[in-house]
Each structure stands twice: as C-alpha cells, then as structure tokens.
Amino acid sequence: MIIGKRNHRFSDLQHIDFSRVFGWNMTGSLQGKSILVTAAAAGIGKAIAQEAANEGAKVTAADINTTELEKIACDDIKTIGLDVTDQSAINRVINTSEPFDCIANVAGYVHHGNLLNCDFESWKSSFAINVDSMFLILRVAVPKMIQNGGGSIVNISSVVSSIKGLPDRFAYGSSKAAILGLTKSVACDFLSQGIRCNAVCPGTVDSPSWRKRCEELGKSVGSYEQAREYFELRQPMKRLGTAEEVAGLSIYLLSERSAFITGQFFNIDGGIMV
C-alpha cells in the first residue's frame, strides 16, 4: 500500500456549527416532534440525537452501549439500551412509547474483506446489524406512524453500496446496497399514508468506530497515522467527513423542510461521486 502526503488536518471541523456556516437556519425545525435514533451512543447517531434535541425534538436515543449512551441523557434526550437485532426488545421500546414522528436508523457494522475472506458469519452479521435492524424497527414503528398521521424516516446507508464499490467492503457494500432498496420500497408503499423515507449515504466519517478500524489497519500498514492518511487521501477533499455534517443533512430530511422529498439517496461523500 502506497501512502501519500497529507495536506491538512480537519479534526477541528467537528466543533464547527455547520448550520451557521452554511446558513441553515433550522432552529426549531423539529419542534414538538418525537424521534427515535439508533446507535446514538457515539458518532453519527450521537450527533443526530443531539442536533434533533437542539431543534426542539423529544429524542429517544437507543444503543447497546448504555455506558456511553447515558452521557448524552438530558431533559430532551431519553436514553434506552437496545439491541437492534432483537425483535422482542424493539417491540418493547416502540410499543411502550408514543408514536414516533421521525426515525433515524443509524446502527451499522463495517466488515473489512472481499468475497474470498468474508466468512458466512461476517456476512450474516453485516446484514443483521445493517439491514435486518431497519426491517425489525420499521415493521413495528410504521403502523403507529401511519395511525399518527405519518412521519419521516432516514436510513443511514453509505456511498459504498450500489452507488460505489471500494476495496475490501464486500459484505458492507452489499448490505448498504440493500438499505437503498428497502428505502425505495418503504417510500413507495407508504407515500399515500404520509410516510417519507430517505437514505443518507456518507463517505468515510471520523467516528470512534472508524478510529478503531483505523487502529486495526495501522497494524498492517505501519502505524495509525499511516492508516488515517490512507483514508484521508482516498477522499477527493483529502479529509474525512464529520458526524455533525451527516447529522445536519439527516435533520433536514427528518424535518418538514424536506416535505416534498421521499425515496431519495443523498451522497455526503467528500466528492467521491463527482
């Protein structure tokens, strides 16, 4: 693997309020809405949960990592432990809550490998966490959303899907492509009942889970810094995305500001698909 020279560091971008930078005056865009966010203990899920609360929503933040999850609990964010592959646990969360106006399906797993070094367990885990979790949640939540007059769903997919192939993302890309099909189907089937469903497709985003993967890759390429360099240089903008950037787009799609949008895929990929 050839590692080039990195031009800049952009880690400080996670501290920028992008709604102000780009003029997104969305204050209160989710006022009075109830939203469920999965994988909310860190990364994109955490950023969506916190931004939704800032926009006036009552947030139910769910994650299997309850220790980290509890750190974001506040008046507008209720935290709850949840394994998104457990249908009975999902049933309890959704059936003991008021109908959700919005759902952000964020839970995901990244397997590293191609067809020949992806065992069946890794394949099944990729689909169980990335795709089955959305099926299990939506099949319970959507009927209640319909009874409540409709709602908005955002599924976190990836530009690495049916949109783009990248090396050693066989199971991951396959499962993320399935999310796009799921999104289109839900949008089509329930459009007349007030349900909107869209997918957000990030490129590489700096997050705690990505840093762990970077550490693993660093063992084979020389160091964590070299591994990070590889990912940054793979992005045309020569930097990683931030969770806050993905959250900003997701909040827009969850809010009524995007009321005329459904069944669409939104790349937020640093120029990969330019």
What is the C-alpha to C-alpha distance for residues 221 and 93, in angstroms, rounded to an integer?
Answer: 43
Angle 199-160-80 from CA coordinates, rounded to 5°: 50
Please count the residues of the chain.
Answer: 274
Are 74 and 80 a contacting pair, CB within 8 Å? no
Asked if 172 is an active-site residue, the reply is yes
CA atoms lying within 13 Å on the CB side of residue 259? 7
> What residue spans of the chain are helical by DSSP H?
18-21, 43-54, 66-69, 87-95, 120-127, 133-147, 170-190, 208-221, 224-234, 243-254
What is the C-alpha to C-alpha distance for residues 179 and 161, in angstroms, rounded to an integer?
Answer: 9
Angle, to 10 degrees, between the axis of helix 208-221 and the axis of helix 224-234?
110
Are 89 and 83 a contacting pair, CB within 8 Å? yes
Whole-number Cα distances in Å, 59 to 65, 138, 140: 17, 17, 18
Are 141 and 94 a contacting pair, CB within 8 Å? yes
Give the neighbor-by-neighbor strand order of the sheet with 265-268: 77-81, 58-63, 34-37, 102-105, 151-156, 195-202, 265-268
Catalytic residue among 109, 172, 224, 252: 172
Q: Which residues are the active-site residues?
A: 172
